[in-house]
Amino acid sequence: KAGVTQTPRYLIKTRGQQVTLSCSPISGHRSVSWYQQTPGQGLQFLFEYFSETQRNKGNFPGRFSGRQFSNSRSEMNVSTLELGDSALYLCASSLEGTGVRNTIYFGEGSWLTVV
């Protein structure tokens, strides 16, 4: 069974550009979450989607947005990139939306460098 798949793995963008990152959850998982990991701030929650609806959102500016498609695949977008957006972006998926017993699995991440 394939794990959480994130694309692209590495990318370099210029300040002011926008970027779209993609996440395919484990088959059957309908909950998808996104996290940003930086050396200074650690792991910070961006947002969570379940059944194509944003269920939870972290404390990030409106430049950060996401969506989930009917097949549970998710994308996140960052517009008007800033140098501080350079980070590892991690996607996580879980089997059900409300089961506290469910394990949350992470992908390998997308490394974004903004120059």
Partner 1 sequence: AQSVAQPEDQVNVAEGNPLTVKCTYSVSGNPYLFWYVQYPNRGLQFLLKYITGDNLVKGSYGFEAEFNKSQTSFHLKKPSALVSDSALYFCAVRDNNGGATNKLIFGTGTLLAVQP
| Residues that bind partner 1 in the complex, under the rule CB under 8 A | 4, 6, 31, 33, 35, 42-43, 45, 48, 50, 55-56, 90, 92, 94, 97-98, 100-109, 111
Q: In terms of CB distance, is 16 or 28 closer to partner 1?
A: 28
Q: In terms of CB distance, is 12 or 18 closer to partner 1?
A: 12
Task: Give alpha helix (H) positions in 1-115.
Answer: none
Q: In terms of CB distance, is 50 or 85 closer to partner 1?
A: 50
Q: Report strand pairing: 110-114 vs 10-13.
A: parallel
Cα radius of gyration (the chain): 13
Q: From 72, 106, 75, select the one nearest 91 (Cα to Cα).
A: 106
